[in-house]
Every structure is written in C-alpha cells, then in structure tokens.
Structure 1
Amino acid sequence: MKKIIIIGYGPAGVSAAIYLKRVGINPLVIGKDLGALQGYSDLVENFYGTGKPISGTELIENGIQQAKGLGIEVISESVISLKQEDDHFVVLTTNNRYEAKSVLLATGKTRQTLNIPGFVKYRGKGISMCAICDGYFYRKKKIAIVGCGPYMLHELDYLSKIAKDITIFTNGNPLDASVSQPVIHDKIVKFSGDSKIQHIETKNNRYEVDGVFIALGIPSSVEFASQLGVIVEKNNLVVDENYQTNIDGLFAAGDIIGGKLQIAKAVYDGMLVADSIYNYLNKK
C-alpha cells in the first residue's frame, strides 16, 4: 500500500510529489496521457525561470521528467473511480487497482461535456454527471448513459445494480466492449422535455428517458470527490487551511480548489499541500 497517491500530474500534483520525495515520502503519481490534456497548449510567457515563451504542454512534460529523474513513480493511466475501504483509499484506473493511506486530487477542472441543445437546460433536472451520487433517484426507471469508454462501463456497472431498463448512447462513437444493454450509436441532436428531461433525440429516432448519466472521457476531481461526499461549492472542492477536504486523508490542490487559475499558484499549492500531507502521515 502506498502512503500517498497523487491523481493528476500537472503543476500542483508534480510539485507536491517533488516536495514529498525530498522529505522521504515516495508518492505514486497517476495522470492521463499528455496528448489528452486540454487547456495547456497556449504559450506561457510569465512563469519564472523559463527564459523564453514555452508551451504549457512542454512545461508540464518537463515537470514530469524532473519528477521521474528524482525517482518518483509516475504512470500514465486514466483514473475512473476513487473510493474508501476501511482506513484507506482505493484508486481504480482503466488498467489497475491501487491502495493508499491518503490521496491528493490535482486533476484540474477540465471535464468533457456535451455541446448539444438541452444539455445545459436539463443538467441537474434529469441529466447527471455522477451515477453513484444520483443513481439512487432513478431506481427501476428508464435510464440512459452517454459514453463509450472504460468510465462509461464503470458507471454502467453501478447503474445496472439499481435499474434494469438502461440504454447506452455512444453519440456516434464505437463501443469496444460486450454489454447486455441495448446500444444506440446514432449522434445525439437534442435533449428535450418539460421541466425535466423526457427524451433523447438522435438523427434517426426519439427515445423516452427518466434520467441521463453522462460518462464521457474520464471523471474530474469534482466527480471523484462527489462520490465520497466531499463538500463542493461553485464547482470548487472545499478545503481547510491544510488543503484537506472534509474527508480525512483526502487532499486537493491546484485549479480544483479555486482562486487564480495560474501555474504559479498551482505550484505554490503543491508545495504547501506536500507539507500538510507529510504532517498528516507522520501522525498516523
């Protein structure tokens, strides 16, 4: 079992890993492929020590290589679930299961959604981003789940325990898995209804639904935190002065806790949260 798993290898996560390594704690850092990172392609011209403009992606890659050079274990896997078991955390990726005494969420705020008419209107009114959070309200009802990858399959596994009438909508993408539920491959053109969602409309048909669960790409820190009951305000994870959430041993840093969305601030968060994690683990 690891002492600390850091989810996200951007500036906050890697900075925390480097500081933890220097005080004798070996973290495991998990992040998705650099090619999948969004929002880091712009040139960075105001970060100390770069000398000349550098792309955000290159800056992040330099940080990852620095961490690896210090002997920090960094792996590229997509995390699809975070849960608690007894006195530790379990991190599930598309390939593996990891256990740790503490976890730092530093994935940023990027979250893939849908640019489809009705999505914004019915989000929270029948459209949900978290099966574990809201699935209970749709027991024995007609459910749709939108997605096609490992995260969708993980959410489907949970939903299938509480409802039998589930339809998968891949929104035009291939589904490389064998499932027992009906699969609709058509592109979704509209979500419709009255005060709550009632239909998914595709290019070729219209389907009645009571609830829709979006499971595209991989979940963000907000989705991970929501699964555990972390307090979220204005799409930011709420942390105390030690960067700890209301869940003992679960920390958060970087863009996901709000404030200025700047690399310098994320690095600063990483330094401070590393100190808090060190103190937390030493008390255990």
Structure 2
Amino acid sequence: MKSRILVVGDVMTDIIVMPEGPIVKGSDRRAKVRNRPGGSGANQAVWLGAMQADVLFVARVGADERAMYENYFRGLGVVPALAGDRTLPSGVLVTIVDPDGERSFLTDRGANLNLSSDDLPEDLLDDVGMVVVSGYSFFSPGPRAAVQGLFARAKARGVPVAVDPASVGFLVEVGAAAFVEWTHGADWIFANQSEAEALCGASALDEQMRLLGQHYGTVVIKRGRLGAALGGRDGVRLELPAQVVDVVDSTGAGDAFAAGFIAAHVAGDTNAVALAKGIAAGARAVQSIGGQPS
C-alpha cells in the first residue's frame, strides 16, 4: 500500500472563547480568548504530520496569507498544495467553549468556499495511498463538485477514499439524504455519534453501523468518553473504551482521532491497533486548547 495520505479540507483561524460563565446579553463576561490555527482538514493534516505520516494537504486560503500558511504547514511536516484566493480572505471560526468542554461554532469559511477542480489536478493522486476529505467540502456547490471529481478519479485508480461528516449543523442544513448521496461509495466514513445519528436516524450504535454500512465500506464511529467503534453492514465488529483524561477543550478531538487511525492503517496496523491509536490521539487532543497538537 502506498503511504502518502492526501487530505482535502478547510484552513481556518480558530478564535477560541472560554467564558467564565453564561454569556450576559448586552453586557460583559470575563473570558479567555485565544487564536489558534484550525480547520478540520488542516487539523487532520497537522496531526498526521505529528505522527510522521507522509501527508499532502490541499486547501484554499486568502492570497495574501498563502506564503505564511505554506511555511506553517511545512514546519509541521505537512506538504502544502495551497491555492491563493484573491476575492475572499482565509476562513475564520469562532469557538465558544463551555466549562464542560462542549463547543459551539460561528463559521465564516471564506476562501474555502472557492475550492475548485483546478485546485485538485490529476497528478495530486500520484503515489497516494488514501484520500481523506473533510465534510465541509461537501456543503457548498463549488467545493462539492471539485471533491466529487477527485473521488471519482481516486476510485478509478483504486485509491481508497474516506470522508468525515465534520458538522451536524451543516448536515441538518443540507439534509442527510443529500450528503449520503454525495459521498455514497466512500471506502471509509469517520463520524461522531451525533453525525451518525443525523445521517441514518438511528441512535443505537449497532443500528448506526448497519445503516451506514449500506453506503460506506467501513464505518468508524467516534463516541467521545465512550471510546470508538468500527463496523459496517454486519454491525459492530470492534469496540474500544476511551482513555480517562481531564477535558480542557474538545476542539479537533475528532480530527486527531481520524489522523491517529488513518496513520496507523496506512502503516499496515490492524484495525484494533488503529482504533486504539485513534483513541489515544483524541485523548491527547482534548487536554489542550485548540484543534492541533500543542
């Protein structure tokens, strides 16, 4: 199996807000406010780089920040293939973190909305052993058409493709049936519990596996404090518990999990080892602020 992993997804600046208590409408609330690099695709790429994986990352950023981002990713072991957008700035995400670590998001995807087929040429697939696409790329018509074309070319070459739904809010907005239609036939799907339920309408883990397994080759469901599970149309095949850690910020935990699993899988590890490594990466992620390795 070829070892290079091609990741396609968003680049964002995460503005992380951690208020001391409930927001007071029309007045002040003390809070910690931090800026961090983010974006689901960028997070996955950087976590993969931290795991010494061979990772190529494709995204679109504001033209005036392209060189800065290229240097940033190279410094973290990621090969960047970034397009510079002259009409929209780089994306920004405001994350509001509750005291229990749960998050709410305000999203301006900026230049990510202009990802096009020109940004995804055929030669990107040379020497690639797996393609990973963030679900955010499916939520707007232009990027969706671009990544669907990439998926088709990858399948024609026999390169496995994986998708991460990324956002329950956007899944509900576009409709679960539409998302499944756009991504049907992917070899892998990495979904959290809420995303899995939104996609198939079932809350029971085994039923989620069976229903999603009708559309995707292997289903991996991230269960937070309950760990993670793997399966498909035959139901749950493997389930492992989570590590017990103090949660500081759950931003990017799912991205870290996916990176941990994929890096292990591409390296030839068994599903059990890959699932354990994904869980370990997710546990590491929640112990610090931001969606990328500290």
> For this structure pair, what is the TM-score category when the shorter chain's length is used for normalisation?
0.3 to 0.5
User: TM-score, normalized by length of structure 1?
Assistant: 0.35
Choose between structure 1 and 2 for higher RCO, CA contacts under 8 A separated by at least 6 residues. Answer: 1
Instruction: Choose between structure 1 and 2: higher helix proportion.
Output: 2
Larger Rg: 1
User: TM-score, normalized by length of structure 2?
Assistant: 0.34
